[in-house]
Amino acid sequence: MPVKTSLKENISLALQSIAGNRLRTSLTALIIAIGIMALVGILTAIDGIKNNLNDAFGNLGANSFTLQNRGEGLNFGGGGHRKVYPSITYEQAARFKEVFKLPVTTSINLSVTGTAVAKYGNLKTNPNISVSGSDENYLVTSGQKIGYGRDFSISELQHGDNVVMIGEDIRKRLFKNEDPINKLIFIGNFKFRIVGVFASKGSSSGFGGDKFCVIPVLKAKQMDTLKDISFNITVKTANPDVLDATIGEATSAFRNIRGLNISQADNFEISRSDSVQKELANNMATMTFGGALIAAVTLIGASIALMNIMLVSVTERTREIGVRKAIGANPRIIRKQFLIEAVVICLIGGLTGVFLGIIAGNAVVLLIGGSFIMPWLSFTAALIVCSMIGLISGYYPARKASRLDPVEALRYE
């Protein structure tokens, strides 16, 4: 019972001291809050970015790859330059699709622009619409699904008709509750008839979310005014286990199409969907480490500030400590009082910092088109870190307070 009573008294005294020094407590808690906000905010933002990027590249699954004329270029701050090879022509892509006889699904794709404006009547989108061309296998190789409407017909693909499948964001912006099927819209200076609307993947699908549209690849070829356009070829296998063997066969087949002899190196790149995800994971790990390091430095500064303020508190309350010792409080009780006070101040600052960090982190996530996340792991870690900071930063001031001579403390002015 005596231990329980002393603990209760220490908590009560610590809370009374905090309430009696609101300004000092607020400033101390604010310092801690800034450190915790940095920690939680950075980790929340990184988690959101990670989910965003994984969703963006996860649609392809682990059993597809793309032949293209340039490297992936996914280095975040790596300073590397992408290799660029001779363009892949439509004839080369079509020839590959014709001669590659393995049991795979192959699509030919061409990225036209990422800054198009779609218009319907008096309504128009922002200039952030991605336009790409593809063929009858686009839905299979991209992982997209039709929400309603239909895919392109063989005739539309062969003739490069002005038809389009649009993303859900375009439908919401231009048509609201109106049925868009068979409606005519302008994409840039070209008029298209809508034949399908993609099922929404939400903004967390990344890199534009549902702000995209797909047209027949031959029409995309006509729209692209660049002289040296390059097509991509996406190949999807039925089973991830045969991916490596399929890549080997595809490399050999495309080398023949490009007219390379045995002594010449490949003049094209093969981008695997699983390698993209692995590279993203590595980059995200680096970003997480960097963010945690920044937050750690901030928290070290906050803990030093807390220790200094607690030392000032001990000095200001020297006479109070002397009175408590004179009426029977032993060094252990004094030490507990100051430790509890430091931990409570840290928890007040920590909870504030967690709240602000969640808001700041999710603001970054929403800004890049992600969805709100609740970082439970960061929340728990922040509270544990706060308690540890309180104990570490408060130990020396508490020890100093517990060792004060009661006679000298009573005479202190």
One digit per residue, the tens of pLDDT, for the chain of length 413 reads 444 445 677 677 777 777 777 777 787 788 788 878 887 888 888 777 777 665 655 555 568 899 998 765 544 444 445 677 889 999 999 999 999 989 999 999 999 988 899 999 999 999 989 999 999 999 988 888 899 999 999 999 999 999 999 999 999 999 988 999 999 999 988 999 999 999 987 654 444 568 899 999 999 998 876 667 899 999 998 887 888 899 999 999 999 999 999 889 999 998 886 665 666 667 777 777 877 787 778 778 878 878 888 888 788 777 877 887 777 777 887 888 888 888 888 888 888 888 888 898 888 877 766 677 787 887 888 788 888 888 888 888 888 888 877 767 676 65
The position carrying tokens 């800004």 is: 367
Q: Encoding tokens for residue 260? A: 């390379």
Closest CA to 232 of 361, 96, 76, 360: 96
Q: Encoding tokens for residue 174? A: 């231009």
Q: Which long-range contacts (CB under 8 A, 24 or more apart) does 183-191 make?
A: 183/120, 184/120, 185/118, 185/119, 185/120, 186/118, 186/119, 186/120, 187/116, 187/117, 187/118, 187/119, 187/129, 187/131, 187/213, 187/215, 188/113, 188/116, 188/117, 188/131, 188/223, 190/162, 190/223, 191/162
Q: Are 55 and 264 in contact (CB under 8 A)?
A: no
What whole-number distance in Å separates Cα of residue 313 and Cα of residue 297?
24
- Chain centroid to CA 262: how far? 43
What whole-number distance in Å separates Cα of residue 50 and Cα of residue 262?
41
pLDDT at 291: 73
pLDDT at 1: 41
pTM over 0.75: no
Rounded alpha-carbon distances, angstroms, from residue 186 to 103, 175, 200, 218: 38, 13, 21, 18
Q: Are 116 and 131 in contact (CB under 8 A)?
A: yes
Neighbours of 191 (CB within 10 A): 12
- Return the amino acid letter for 410: L
Q: Are 306 and 31 in contact (CB under 8 A)?
A: yes
Rounded-to-10 torsion of CA 171, 173, 179, 182: -60
Rounded alpha-carbon distances, angstroms, from residue 381 to 228, 289, 375, 378, 386: 52, 15, 10, 5, 9
pLDDT at 62: 65
Rounded alpha-carbon distances, angstroms, from residue 119 to 149, 176, 190, 218, 361: 20, 13, 10, 22, 34
Q: Are 126 and 174 in contact (CB under 8 A)?
A: no
Q: Are 186 and 127 in contact (CB under 8 A)?
A: no
Rounded alpha-carbon distances, angstroms, from residue 216 to 104, 154, 210, 372: 21, 10, 18, 35
